[in-house]
Amino acid sequence: MTDEPTPPPSATPPPRRRRASVVKPAAAAPGAGIPAEVEVAAAPALAAPSAPTAASAPLVPAAVELSRGAVRGIRAQDVHVRTGVVGGMTGDHASVEMGLVGGIAARQASVSQGVVRGILAQDVRIEQSLVRTVVANRVQAGPSTVIAFVLARQVDGNARILFDWRGALAFGGVLGTVLALIRLSRRRA
């Protein structure tokens, strides 16, 4: 045991500085006016991050299935939630059955008898669910489905949609005008 204090495990050592390196030209002819040694100062390493390699890429599981549980977030290629609560889901294919999800970002998303706050996907299929916001290329909605805001190129099915992109734009304009009038009346009073 020594009397020297040990740093706490969370303390990180100070960053190491690069020393100047010496470069010797390979084909320097004697008497050609080129010095035999050229000193090159090391530039700070502020290069753009390189693409992840197989060794440094984060491992993403192929499939994750959650049944009767609660998780803050899930990232996998295929994500399936059944009677669970999830803060966010990210993957190629994401599906929810009788679950509550904060947000879904996927290529293909499917919701059946669930409640979802927001969906960002290429293809979305919704059946008997309540969804606040959908931004997608194509939406297929089944019966007993309620969607508050939809921004999609194509919507198929008989869902109850409160605002499409035109309605949302009009709603935002009216709400902005009302809030501006309220703010203006408070300044005068």
Taking the CB of residue 127, how many other CB atoms lie within 10 A of it? 18
pLDDT tens per residue across all 189 residues of the chain: 556 666 555 555 555 555 444 444 445 455 555 444 444 444 444 444 455 555 555 667 888 898 998 999 999 999 999 999 999 999 999 999 999 999 999 999 999 999 999 999 999 999 999 999 999 999 999 988 999 989 889 999 988 888 777 887 888 889 999 999 999 998 887
Task: Measure the CA–CA gap between 172 and 169, rounded to whole angstroms.
Answer: 5
Are 76 and 60 contacting, i.e. CB atoms less than 8 angstroms apart? yes
Task: Measure the CA–CA gap between 129 and 95, rounded to whole angstroms.
Answer: 12
| DSSP alpha helix (H) spans, 17-146 | none
